[in-house]
Amino acid sequence: MGERPARAGTLLLLRHGRSTTNAAGRFTGWTDVPLASEGVHEAERAARLLARDGLLPDVVHTSLLRRSIRSADIVLAGLDRQWIPAQRSWRLNERQYGALTGRRKHDVRAEAGAGLYDHWRRSLHGRPAPLPAPDLVRLRADPRYATLRPDAVPAVESQADVTARVVPYWADVLAPRLRTGAVVLVVAHGNSLRALVTVLDGLDEAGVQRLDIPTGAPLRYDFDPDLRSVARGGTYLDPGAARAGAAAVAAEGHRLPLS
């Protein structure tokens, strides 16, 4: 058995840069949309922040969706670390938003009311209607999910469902790597990262409900040797920008986007 490092590694969480559907104010979920040009700039800026703090990842983890993969590629190019191993998993995908997928958040909020909108969007157990059957059939035929049992490709997920699929990824993949002292970069999505933070910080239901993750804002977690986070909530590398970004995410759907 090797020696246990004096402290475990560093976890860097990054929500992908703004996507085209984020910019249009639409629910996105498992739809595979590209980054908006602003999202490319956000990822480039994230790389500069990581470089500023000397945070050079040893390994990167992404979802199977191109907005996370592209963001990770941009960050690693900015750090001259494109050679590090990459691991991709559906477990890091965005929450499956079911029938809300593709709909404008502003329209959903106006139709359903603020209470139901917030329940669907941010509560732990709120679950909108499922994806229409033809869309689900198409999704289950997508080759990127070919190794999954078809019923593992969800028709809709609550935030609790997302947490349930993220927990094994934390326990079986990320945590063992951090225990080796590695710097681990995870580039994923608003709700899969909310799920990870729920586990890292032991959030209760109210904490989950209040949590918003801004796009393109690196969030750092350091751990003690027992892999307990040393700072609750982690540390954003640019706290001011992260606060403003999180507030903008929280307010999505309240107004129509300008573009």
Ligand X SMILES: O=C(O)[C@@H](CO)OP(=O)(O)O
**Residue 145 among known ligand-binding residues:** no
Contact 236, 217 (CB under 8 A): yes
Q: Residue 27 interacts with ligand X (CB under 6 A)?
A: yes
Both structure tokens of 64: 């199977």
Region of 22-30, 124-132, 196-204, 236-244 interacting with ligand X (CB under 6 A): 22-30
Please give the Cα distance from 62 to 60 (Å, whole number): 7
Is 190 a binding residue for ligand X by CB under 6 A? The answer is yes
* 94 assigned binding-site residue: yes
3-state helix, strand, coil in the chain (%, to 5): 45, 15, 40
Please say whether the beta carbons of 219 and 46 come within 8 A: no
Tokens in use for 47?
């790389």
Point out the residues that are catalytic. Answer: 16, 94
- Residue 121 assigned as binding residue: yes
Q: Per-residue x/- mask for ligand X, residues 45 to 84, rule CB under 6 A?
A: ----------------------------------------
Q: How far is the CB of 25 from ligand X (least distance, A)?
A: 9
CB proximity list for 107: less than 8 A, separation 6 or greater: none
Interacting span for ligand X (CB under 6 A) from 26-34, 44-52, 69-77, 110-118: 26-34
Largest interatomic CA distance in the chain: 59
Interface with ligand X by CB under 6 A: which residues?
22, 27-29, 94, 97, 121, 190-191, 249, 252
Q: Summarize the annotated binding site for substrate as residue ranges.
A: 15-22, 28-29, 67, 94-97, 105, 121-122, 190-191
